Amino acid sequence: MKRILIFAAAGALCLAACNKIETPVAEQGEGTLILSFTTGGMATKSDTAPSGKDASVQDIQAFLFLPDGSLYRRETLSGSEMTKSLERVKAGSYDIVALANAPEMTSVQNKAELEQARHTLASNDPDKGFLMYGTSEGSVTVRSESDAPVRAVIAVRRFVGRVRLTSVKNSLPAVYGALKVDCVFLENALGTWTFGATDAPSDYVNYAGRKAGRNTSADESDFIKSAADAGCAALTFNSVNRSVAAASQESFSLPFYSLPNKVTAADDHFEGATSGDACTRLVVRASYGENGAQQWYYPVTIPNLERNKSYDVSFIISGPGVKDPNQRVSSGNLDVVISVDPWVSGDEYEGRF
């Protein structure tokens, strides 16, 4: 009986040893993962002086997700750390997600939760930096430390697109004298989106060129005329108060920002008060004539505004605009040139309104 018990114990030891040998090394080893982050070249080819902190990175949160989507590890890097070596990373495959200039996401426990978390246009700060997001191209496999470290390069890019006023030319009849640019703003910007772009952006800002919640009003008192009237004014409104002499052109560098707006010209409700889909527009409010008696809006449509692209707009004003910021200017009174730069190559298109 005693011999049988000894034999059984020996058998158990043998079984345990065999099980240990059969366990894959990749499941129990640890390795080194080197994370490198790039902003993909944020300044446009036309930017001799980028606007504000267009390309600044204050900090980065890196998330390592397991194949089942659960969070394995979260790392935080300062803006000066665009590369970080992570030691003792459990061998295996990971999807890596990076967030730059974002609030701390310490409660995130899985990838879907992070992707579906919502952020707003107001979360972007031109004086500090813009929200950016990037993922690894496929899974990154970390092997045991007996192998060389694995490097993952993550390119982060902004959620917003930029629309910038670059110049205004006064081509009005000389009798009207100087053209005064009172203010400039974006209307029909979009203000809410998910980090993972799991749905379309939503929630119009400066909808139809009106104060919040007044997009269906035809009352002129509801039209945007000041920063107090605008939503996310730091990103969508600029009080200019600058004159352009007759037959002269003035240069500007006034940036405005919106989350992507996929509305095309064919689906655009460009008809004043509306509750329908509307393209983002850059609007100049200007006045001329004796004591600025002639006051007009000059809206220019940016169809299908995309994230991480820059739209530089030049105005040539030749006649009256419109009294409603969400209506078309009569043909021949406004010419524009819009330069679109996707931070790789650019092209131009012209419009006559």
**91: helix, coil or strand?**
coil
Model confidence band, residue 79 (pLDDT cutoffs 50, 70, 90):
confident
Indicate the pTM of the whole model: 0.85
> Quick one: which H or E segment has residue 341?
strand 334-341
25, HSE (Cβ side, Cα atoms, 13 Å): 7
> Quick one: which H or E segment has residue 298?
strand 294-302
**Token output for 12:** 């158990």
Q: How far apart are CA 336 and CA 243, in angstroms?
A: 19
Residue 261: closest CA among 311, 210, 334: 311
Distant-in-sequence, close-in-space partners of 23: CB < 8 Å, separation ≥ 6:
none
246, HSE (Cβ side, Cα atoms, 13 Å): 8
Report pLDDT for 39: 82
Does 297 have pLDDT greater than 80?
Answer: yes
> Quick one: which H or E segment has residue 115?
helix 111-116
Q: Are 185 and 254 in contact (CB under 8 A)?
A: no
Distance of CA 303 to the CA centre of its chain: 16
Pairwise pLDDT comparison (12 vs 66), residue with the higher score: 66
Q: Are 273 and 215 in contact (CB under 8 A)?
A: yes
Spell out a b/e string for 59-75, using b for 16 or more CB atoms within 10 Å of the CB, else e.
Answer: bbbbbbbbeeeebeebb
Model confidence band, residue 2 (pLDDT cutoffs 50, 70, 90):
very low
Report pLDDT for 343: 40
Spell out a b/e string for 264-282, using b for 16 or more CB atoms within 10 Å of the CB, else e.
Answer: eeeebbbebbbeeebbbbb
Task: Render pLDDT for 174-220 as a digit per residue (tens, 0 to 9).
Answer: 999 999 999 999 999 999 999 999 999 999 999 999 999 999 999 99
DSSP 230-292: STTHHHHEEEEEEEE-TT-EEEEEEEEEEB-B---GGG---SSS-SS---EEEEEEEEESGGG
Residue written as token pair 């990154």 = 140
Pairing verdict, β 179-187 and 280-288: antiparallel
Left (φ > 0), alpha (ψ -120 to 50) or beta: where does 88 sit? left
Task: Render pLDDT for 20-73 as a digit per residue (tens, 0 to 9).
Answer: 333 333 445 899 999 999 886 544 444 434 456 677 889 999 999 999 999 999
Pairwise pLDDT comparison (19 vs 340), residue with the higher score: 340
- The percentage of residues in the chain with a pLDDT greater than 90, rounded to a whole number, is 76
